[in-house]
Structure 1
């Protein structure tokens, strides 16, 4: 199956057909509404997919598009009766196996109650395309861009293909993630987070496993932000004669991050921060790219042997793969970004545009950095370019970016915890809710800062987090949960092959990368 047709199939899942062959139009309201059931005829409930809330007509159970033709760009011909019956059987089989989920959710669907039995108050859907794009890119393109040239040094020039492949995987699994949120469970409401997806697919143990990887990735990434910011601030102020240790600056950074965490309540409130973070990352990438081209290693050290370049380094591909995947990971915030979108139908375009933009930026800094410094490039790459005003500006900008990105990452964690423990004004009252929220958010920031102080090894810690949690959330959990929720029969054969390939990539990167990262971390810690 041509790649263009496969990509069109993934992106063109917004228009839908009801069981009587009519196109289902998106709901006029932008709020997440209660269960909406499509009926074949009066008094009978359709056995096919249940349409849920605003995006019901956007993210309903998938159809077999192998026999679907595009009409006018907005609608598609309805699928055949045989494939429709197969889809019904597949969805009904999954629902029948979710007895534990049904018991946990209860028999009555009053209020906006998710599959885990937790009531949720939908956040306002007021984010446009630019704001949603900025939120995704601000999380994706952060510290990972500084690791790309070092990853190329581990893989050789074949790293270019890995970047492109990772971008496509990221867009694909990003769409699968949101489709899983709209799976019609026993309560028929949109899910709100990755843990709820895990519970809907595999019951309580699926929820616990997903929570582990989700929280490890979220909090581990914020640890990286604190480590990197403290490291850069220390390097900047030490040149001015300010002799304050790196750990002190890490504490200062954590306090600065805590301020917006204490003030902001919803993801939509972080729009200005996301836009500024995006601009800061672009500036850093441009500076690092230009300086690498102007001041390569042979110019900086004319008497030293020139660095080497390889086409492919097989032994380093699995390890570097986890770092490159980390550079495209942002899946933990996808449910919250999509929940704030004014037009959720635009989500596939948002996520693929974000992945394409990040891939272009990564190729710029990766190719330039590896060409300039070869196997001698270090992580972060800003430590490889010559010192001076450009390097100083880049470090200031990336420091500002990670300080801004951390609250956005924190918010994805806090929103899930607040929903799970029902920390809402309706239940506690405005003053008590604010007090409880402030106390536990402050405690989490303090714990993350303490972990950051204990493990100040940026490159090794980045590899470990990306291998254990990031790769799992990026490539494995979305595919596995999607297959469990919707059934393998609704995916055409070529997409099944692609899913197996994605799972294999994730497994290799996670296992091999974790082993290598732990070895390096132990080695660096022993040397002090």
Structure 2
């Protein structure tokens, strides 16, 4: 294209279209609402500015405008095919390159201003609405843990109702703190829990959070495989099928591996999450109705009625770890929030999800404990009468587990891929897909091997929840938050609440771990 034509096109465009450079220099209202939970200023290392740290939004960030080259309207073409701009003369090739860079910079500036994002913020596709984000969180939270709630009530008595409600408040609070920690540095967003640990405590903090993070993600997937294999074995054994439970666990692993190999981002799992959510709700309703209509006294009229206690203090720490597992999902929170179209809605999403789960847990917990008392077993579906409702429940929870397991693994994979920089830009599309497929398959194989070696659902759930879930759920978010922002960021009553949560978390983690290890050793020895 002749340079005169190119110049004329740019000059004419500047007379007919809005000046993008001026738009970039002039403050504009942000197209993206401010994230209310983002701190105002990144506190200094010594925490001096910590008290004002929670008021900042993305809208107040000013970037220095790019230096744009100026072009004279009197540019003319000389006889040698060169463009004169004032006193300088450039070649046609240089002029075209300068004009192209100009347009690119102007378009980039307008794009940055229109999106209202900081330059350092993640370039992830934010296309998930409130319901999709809510479904992702609930699908991870609610699931196999609900089958343990009546058994937890048998350990604590009716005081378990208070523990369920209290755990929901703790989960919502620490969920908000987790996302605040991602934005502790002004203009930048961290990606995951391990990065929060590194920002707070350096390399050892990263190692610690990675350990608990990965133990939770992979351990929960093991639980899903164990439970699915157990239910499928129970269902098909009545039909005369002689396939063992461990073979069914391997088959379940293969089914889980398929979406793991296909899905790449968390937003792609939204449809799976919605189906998993519906399956869990159906199971809770069926199990609750069956327990109420078929209590222990009617199923076994010749036996003594089971006991019901108001409070059993010695069982509270162990039961608390199981109930906390029913609310755990913090490792997925950074990825869910990263896919949200309106990230300022995150507090509403997490509190709504916790409230919804609390209602479901109270329904199945109260119904199961009222019907079977201290005779209830885990999972509670083994306590209700056999028949069509029990069969439907086991089928539905198996479907949910097969759906939730890939989402749980996906949170682990996304962090590893981010850490190892497994991207098409660096490796190319074909090589990136190959590397991603191979290492994801290896991880699934390791998870399956662990599940086959420890096929004890209740004991394994207690161990994972005590060591990993309680730590990720109640301890690390508060500790990292205080380290990043300083203790003066919280008012006195919030400090009391934090101290209470930390004490409860430590007691539940230590006591629950010891009890779970004892039970696991006993069951392993037969």
Q: How does 1:58-77 map to 2 (within 5 A)?
A: 58-61=37-40
Q: Deviations along 1:127-153, whole A, 9 cap, x unmatched?
A: 000000000000000100000000000
Distance in 2 (alpha carbons) for counterparts of 1:454 and 1:191: 36
Corresponding residue for residue 482 of structure 2: 483
Aligned partners of 1:123 and 1:266 also within 8 Å: no
Which stretches of structure 1, 4 residues or more, deviate above 4 A after TM superposition? 54-58
Give, in angstroms, the shift of residue 91 of structure 1. Answer: 7.8
Corresponding residue for residue 428 of structure 2: 429
Q: Secondary structure at the match of 1:242?
A: coil
- In the superposition, relative to structure 1, how do residues 459 and 327 fare at CA in structure 2: closer, same or farther (>3 Å)? same
Distance in 1 (alpha carbons) for counterparts of 2:512 and 2:121: 37
Distance in 2 (alpha carbons) for counterparts of 1:502 and 1:214: 19
Q: Deviations along 1:195-228, whole A, 9 cap, x unmatched?
A: 0000000001000000000000000000000000
Aligned partners of 1:120 and 1:419 also within 8 Å: no
Give, in angstroms, the shift of residue 90 of structure 1. Answer: 3.1
Root-mean-square deviation (CA, aligned residues, Å) is 2.2
TM-score, normalization by structure 1:
0.80
Q: Secondary structure at the match of 1:198?
A: helix
Distance in 1 (alpha carbons) for counterparts of 2:29 and 2:229: 47
Q: How does 1:256-271 map to 2 (within 5 A)?
A: 256-271=255-270
Corresponding residue for residue 406 of structure 1: 405
Give, in angstroms, the shift of residue 363 of structure 1. Answer: 0.2
Give, in angstroms, the shift of residue 155 of structure 1. Answer: 0.2
Distance in 2 (alpha carbons) for counterparts of 1:330 and 1:336: 11
Q: Whose Rg is larger?
A: 2
Corresponding residue for residue 204 of structure 2: 205
Q: Deviations along 1:11-58, whole A, 9 cap, x unmatched?
A: xxxxxxxxxxxxx998425xxxxxxxxxxxxxxxxxxxxxxxx86664
- In the superposition, relative to structure 1, how do residues 25 and 215 fare at CA in structure 2: closer, same or farther (>3 Å)? farther
Distance in 2 (alpha carbons) for counterparts of 1:25 and 1:309: 63
Corresponding residue for residue 87 of structure 2: none
Unaligned runs of 5+ in 1: 1-23, 30-53, 64-82, 94-118
* 1:450 to 2:410 alignment: no
Corresponding residue for residue 154 of structure 1: 155
Aligned partners of 1:166 and 1:328 also within 8 Å: yes
Give, in angstroms, the shift of residue 526 of structure 1. Answer: 0.5
Aligned partners of 1:219 and 1:410 also within 8 Å: yes
- In the superposition, relative to structure 1, how do residues 251 and 175 fare at CA in structure 2: closer, same or farther (>3 Å)? same
Q: How does 1:330-345 map to 2 (within 5 A)?
A: 330-345=329-344
Q: Deviations along 1:58-104, whole A, 9 cap, x unmatched?
A: 412489xxxxxxxxxxxxxxxxxxx99x97533899xxxxxxxxxxx
Q: Secondary structure at the match of 1:156?
A: helix
Number of residue pairs aligned between Structure 1 and Structure 2: 434
- In the superposition, relative to structure 1, how do residues 234 and 120 fare at CA in structure 2: closer, same or farther (>3 Å)? farther
One of 31, 56, 59 as aligned partner of 1:28: 31
Distance in 2 (alpha carbons) for counterparts of 1:270 and 1:382: 28
- In the superposition, relative to structure 1, how do residues 365 and 492 fare at CA in structure 2: closer, same or farther (>3 Å)? same
Unaligned runs of 5+ in 2: 1-26, 54-119
TM-score, normalization by structure 2:
0.80
Q: Secondary structure at the match of 1:158?
A: helix
Corresponding residue for residue 391 of structure 1: 390
Q: How does 1:74-93 map to 2 (within 5 A)?
A: 88-90=48-50
Give, in angstroms, the shift of residue 300 of structure 1. Answer: 0.4
Distance in 1 (alpha carbons) for counterparts of 2:162 and 2:30: 40
Distance in 2 (alpha carbons) for counterparts of 1:217 and 1:418: 18
Corresponding residue for residue 300 of structure 2: 301
Q: How does 1:124-523 map to 2 (within 5 A)?
A: 124-184=125-185, 188-523=187-522
